[in-house]
Amino acid sequence: MSTFKEILKDHISYRKQLVKLAGADLKKTYSGSVLGWSWALIRPAILIFVFWFAFSYGLRKGSDINGYPFFLWLIAGMIPWFYMRDMITGGANSIRRYKYLVTKIKFPVATIPTFVSMALLVSHVGLVLVMILIYVTFGYMPTIYYLQIPFYMLLMFLFFTAWGLFAGVLSAISRDFLNLVKSLTQALFWMSGILYDATTINVDWIRAILLFNPVTIIANGYRNVFINQRWFWEDWQQLVNFAIVYVVMMVLAVWAYRRLHKDIPDVL
């Protein structure tokens, strides 16, 4: 508990610096390219188009879902995945990427994954606004269920920021762990219900495991907002699952930080 209080105190004390560093991280990501910020939209758009084409024409699986074109169902899960994917790998690499803050400035280690997550969240908000525009273009106007979007953004931010601290500390100590995370990210994509509805899987134990996966829960939440038009409390079991996994992740993050953060400057 004392370590958790220390982490929380560092975040409060350095809150202004976190905002500035998040902005600097955004600029750093897209600096040096002619199109600049446009790449935040271009890269996701290319990937979405590839999957849409494959499932709509190549694999012949792109039928309408709940009266919505498959393309709209697809992007409702893909848009949050882009943030989660970038945070899974970027969070794990965050302390190594900003090692000068640890070795030269002695910036609080626990706050580094937080401002990286904040920067990615800004890009995510932009993608969500684009997604809403796409829905309007297809003739689907915003509904009252859109009020839940900040709620699911918050859940996503909280969990993957905790993940960033846990994975960032371990990756700072061992590059092998970082390589393992990068290797498993693509497998996680295919096993998390981004391209299919995990709630319809017929095998009970597989479905139960998937519904403990935060990636699956967040993707389902976004689809409840845009496609299924369900309130978050209607899927209370998934929220309970998320809470359990989040508490476990926070415990692991605090444990890893308490055990290893003093060794990070020497290793880096």
What domain range includes position 50? 2-267
Identity of the residue numbered 221: G
pLDDT at 33 over 90: no
Encode 108-127: b = buried (16+ Cβ within 10 Å), e = exposed: bbbbbbbbbbbbbbebbeeb
Distance (Å, rounded) from C-alpha 42 to C-alpha 55? Answer: 20
Are 119 and 111 contacting, i.e. CB atoms less than 8 angstroms apart? no
3-state DSSP helix/strand/coil % of the chain, to nearest 5: 80, 0, 20
Residue in the structure block whose two tokens are 């709209």: 72
> pLDDT, tens digit, for every residue of 106-160?
788 999 999 999 999 988 998 899 899 989 988 999 999 999 999 999 999 999 9
Residue 12 exposure: Cα atoms within 13 Å on the Cβ side:
6
40 near 33, Cβ under 8 Å? no
Phi/psi of residue 30, nearest 5 degrees: -110, 5
d(CA 93, CA 112): 10
The pTM is what? Answer: 0.90
**What pLDDT, in 10s, does the model give residues 51-71?**
767 766 655 555 677 788 888
CA distances from 142 to 138, 156, 229 (A): 12, 22, 11
Measured distance CA(190)–CA(200) in Å, rounded: 15
DSSP reduced 3-state for 121: helix
* Number of structural domains found in the chain: 1
Token duo for residue 122: 């800004």
d(C-alpha 163, C-alpha 177), whole Å: 13
